Chains A and B, each alone.
Chain A
Amino acid sequence: MELLAKERGAMLVIRTTQDRIDAASAIQFKDRMRDITGASAAPRVVLDMSNVAFLDSSGLGAVVAVLKALAPDRTLELSGLTPTVQKVFRLTRMDTIFTIHDAVPDGLRNVG
């Protein structure tokens, strides 16, 4: 599960390269997220999911696990949710739990 990470000030942006976070890959995704967030002190983590065409209940559980592991000192926000992924978040009401952006927020404007 390849994840790309870039820090912008207080924000760590993580982008997936694979297009599915599902039962076949959820555990690896969670492990890689733990490794990457553990290597950074940035309090605001944004997961760019614009490459993710599909996420199932295992994938959702993994994303929730990351949110819980980062809390309370660090936050996890999501961006770029594609339609089927949005549907899963909406049906489970998880869209009320996460801050969801259309695109990766421009952290440079919020410095200071």
Chain B
Amino acid sequence: MSPWQPARSPAAPRKHRPPLRLTLPGTTDAVRHALLEIFASGLLDGSSDNLLSSAEIVLAEVLNNIVEHAYAARAGDIRLLLSHTETGLVCKVMDSGTAMPGLCLPKGDFQPLGQTADLPEGGFGWFLIRSLVTELTYQRIDGENRLSFILPDEQS
């Protein structure tokens, strides 16, 4: 081996990184494991802490929503395709569960906080997702839900 190896950057340039494809059963435990796998995979190496935390928050909410709602009545798998591009983390999530009510995404409006006794204990998920992603789209095709979004990378 030549002693004059060029210094390797710690992470492959994004355009050379292969996308990550994952299939997981629609359970909260599987979602937890999938998140750990995604962050251990190297796909997000070199990302800002901001992108890493946003990605974890959004992916947890999206995947757990599918478990809780799309697969409330019956079990099924969730398929993920993640690509780390110059724009950021491009995500496509597919499941074959129940369609979104009205075939459209929840608005996820911010819930104003009032007195302690009236504080909301739920309904934060779509607000968190919409706060952190761009290009959020939903389609119902051939019995599948297809959700796609981008987690923008401010360094791009």
**Which chain A residues have a beta carbon within 8 Å of chain B's beta carbons?**
20, 22-24, 54, 56-58, 60-62, 64-65, 67-68, 71-72, 83-84, 87-88, 91-94, 96-97
Question: What is the interface residue range for chain B against chain A?
Answer: 20 to 34
- Among the listed B111, B117, B123, B124, which residue makes an inter-chain contact with A68, where contact means beta carbons less than 8 Å apart? B117
Q: Is B85 an interface residue (CB 8 A)?
A: no
**For the complex, what is the distance from the CA of A97 to the CA of B110, rounded to whole Å?**
15
B residues near A62, Cβ cutoff 8 Å: 121
Q: Is B131 an interface residue (CB 8 A)?
A: yes
Q: Is the CB of A64 within 8 A of B53?
A: no
What's the least CB distance linking B148 to chain A, in Å?
Answer: 20
Q: Give the nearest-CB partner of A88 in chain B.
A: B57
Q: Is B120 an interface residue (CB 8 A)?
A: yes
Q: Is the CB of A20 within 8 A of B32?
A: yes
B residues near A54, Cβ cutoff 8 Å: 56, 60
Quick one: CB contact mask for B54-78 with A, threshold 8 Å, 1 for yes?
1011001100100110000000000
CB-CB contacts below 8 Å: B60-106 with A = 60-61, 64, 67-68
Q: Is B142 an interface residue (CB 8 A)?
A: no
**For the complex, what is the distance from the CA of A64 to the CA of B61, rounded to whole Å?**
18
Q: Is the CB of B121 within 8 A of A88?
A: no
What's the least CB distance linking B85 to chain A, in Å?
Answer: 23
Q: Give the nearest-CB partner of B123 in chain A.
A: A57
Q: Is the CB of A22 within 8 A of B113?
A: no
**For the complex, what is the distance from the CA of A46 to the CA of B111, rounded to whole Å?**
25
B residues near A91, Cβ cutoff 8 Å: 127-128, 131-132
Q: Give the nearest-CB partner of A70 in chain B.
A: B116
Q: Is the CB of B124 within 8 A of A61?
A: yes
What's the least CB distance linking A93 to chain B, in Å?
Answer: 6
**For the complex, what is the distance from the CA of A20 to the CA of B32, rounded to whole Å?**
9
A residues near B61, Cβ cutoff 8 Å: 56-57
Q: Is the CB of B128 within 8 A of A92?
A: yes
Q: Is the CB of A64 within 8 A of B121?
A: yes
Q: Is the CB of A22 within 8 A of B32?
A: yes
- Among the listed A20, A24, A57, A93, which residue makes an inter-chain contact with B122, where contact means beta carbons less than 8 Å apart? A57
What's the least CB distance linking A30 to chain B, in Å?
Answer: 9
- Among the listed A92, A96, A97, which residue makes an inter-chain contact with B127, where contact means beta carbons less than 8 Å apart? A92
Q: Is the CB of B116 within 8 A of A67?
A: yes
Q: Is the CB of A56 within 8 A of B64?
A: yes
B residues near A68, Cβ cutoff 8 Å: 116-117, 119, 121
Q: Is the CB of B113 within 8 A of A87?
A: no
A residues near B47, Cβ cutoff 8 Å: none
